[in-house]
Amino acid sequence: MMKIDEVVEKLIRGEISFHEIDNLLEANAAMVARRLALEKILGIGLPSIGSTVIDYSEIKNKNAENVIGAVQIPLGIVGPIRVNGDYAKGDFYVPLATTEGALIASVNRGSKAVTLSGGVRVKVLKDEMTRAPVFRFDSIEEIPNFLKFIEENVEKIKNITNSTSSHGRLKSITPFVLGNNVWLRFSFETGDAMGMNMVTIAVEKVCEFIEENFPSADCLAVSGNMCSDKKQTNVNSLFGRGKTVVAEALIKKDVIKSVLRSNAQLIHDINLRKNWLGTARAGSLSQFNAHFANIVTAIFIATGQDVAQVVESSSGYTWTEVRGEDLYISVTLPSLEVGTIGGGTRLPTQKEALSIMGVYGSGNPPGSNAKKFAEIVASTVLSGELNLLAALANRELGKAHARLGRAMKV
């Protein structure tokens, strides 16, 4: 093994690249050498980035490349939130990682109102991760035969996918046609994993089988964007991706008054004019909500989810009704992509964050932990939506952020 200083000098002289340091030093020494080299090249110090609890030997070839350290983000908790789900039952503290002052306080007040009103009822309606390769044909002539071929070979295709994972299970294949192109949208149950690696590996194997047995089908790309990963699309909103979750709560008149300092009619009116009319006028197809993205992102960062999937995981709908003087509120998230095993969930702080909610790792039966987690996320989203609508009704948004969320106080 070379010494760190020698490796740093080699890199500065341009004799090796950053990632080649992994071949010359033990994992954690390599992380330090990369940071030191970068500091010398740029003439700056990066001691905070270098100070991390992450053991690079644990994440090398698993979670990130060219690692020089880590960034830290403040982590707060909200709750307890009372959740009446099929998997999550009881009172939960939820970790939120954010740098937006007032956000945690906001969701916390919402969770207080929800819990005092008896809690959130929540259901996971569908649980399917998708991958959709695109196939090109010379002519449309072959397409009906191709669709028939897929239909007749579903069992064979299932056997192929079963051979690549003990948790991924193919549920359905939905074809879409445009001219001489066909997309096959494969939907899988993926246990407690979010499932993108699992599903991609399985579908690549299926594509090999298809090309061997139906040679006029040319699989151009294993992801043809009808999946749709990390993109907000109608196909995700209509058919779902990951978990499709719906949650509801009835907020009592007294709680609306004492905790949220508002009334049901005003909150409902703001929901209709802001989240429905305003969104329609602004031209969004799937974001009829106030700030799902705030809550989903903060939980995703805290718990090691794939943060780019906030794009579709934060799409959804907030619905309200006035019942007497109480407020009925529901949130629907068609494509909430979460896992409690795999990906970034294994990092030390993310693992602890999942354990705050009692959802780290494999569930018994498999899949139950991820569904429990999805129910908690949706309940937290509902708390955040309720509170922001109330805060807007009270005209306290600017005031709250001036008090809790400004770097430069005047």
d(CA 161, CA 190): 12
Active site residue 100: yes
DSSP-derived secondary structure for 32-83: HHHHHHHHHHHT---HHHH--S--HHHHBTTTBSS--------EEEEEEEEE
Number of residues that bind ligand NDP (CB under 6 A): 22
Cβ(264)–Cβ(253) below 8 Å: yes
- The residue type found at 303 is T
For position 191 contacting ligand NDP by CB under 6 A, the verdict is yes
Restricted to residues 367-406, the positions that interact with ligand HMG (CB under 6 A) are: 387-388, 391, 396-397, 400, 404
Residue 366 touches which of ligand NDP, ligand HMG, none (Cβ within 5-8 Å per kind): ligand NDP
22, 127, 248, 306: which one is catalytic? 306
Residues 285 to 304 in contact with ligand HMG, rule: CB under 6 A = 290-291, 294
Ramachandran angles phi, psi of 165, nearest 5°: -160, 145
- Determine whether 86 is an active site residue: no
The distance of closest approach from Cβ of residue 277 to ligand HMG in the complex, given in angstroms and rounded to an integer, is 13
| Residue 69 backbone class (left: φ over 0; alpha: ψ -120 to 50; beta: rest) | left
We find the least distance from the C-beta atom of residue 189 to ligand NDP, in angstroms, to be 9
Q: Is 203 in the site for ligand NDP (CB under 6 A)?
A: no
- Per CB under 6 A, the segment of 19-27, 292-300, 334-342, 352-360 that binds ligand NDP is 334-342
Q: Does 315 bind ligand HMG (CB under 6 A)?
A: no
Pair 165, 191: CB distance under 8 Å: no
Specify the long-range contacts of residues 220-223, CB closer than 8 Å, at least 24 apart: 220/133, 220/134, 220/135, 220/136, 221/133, 221/134, 222/131, 222/133, 223/131, 223/132, 223/133
Question: Is residue 55 flagged as an active site residue?
Answer: no
Q: Does 229 bind ligand NDP (CB under 6 A)?
A: yes
| Partners of 326 in beta bridges | 323
Note whether 46 binds ligand HMG by CB under 6 A: no
Q: Point out the residues that are catalytic.
A: 100, 306, 401
Q: What residues make contact with ligand HMG under the rule CB under 6 A?
A: 100, 102-106, 108-109, 112, 290-291, 294, 387-388, 391, 396-397, 400, 404
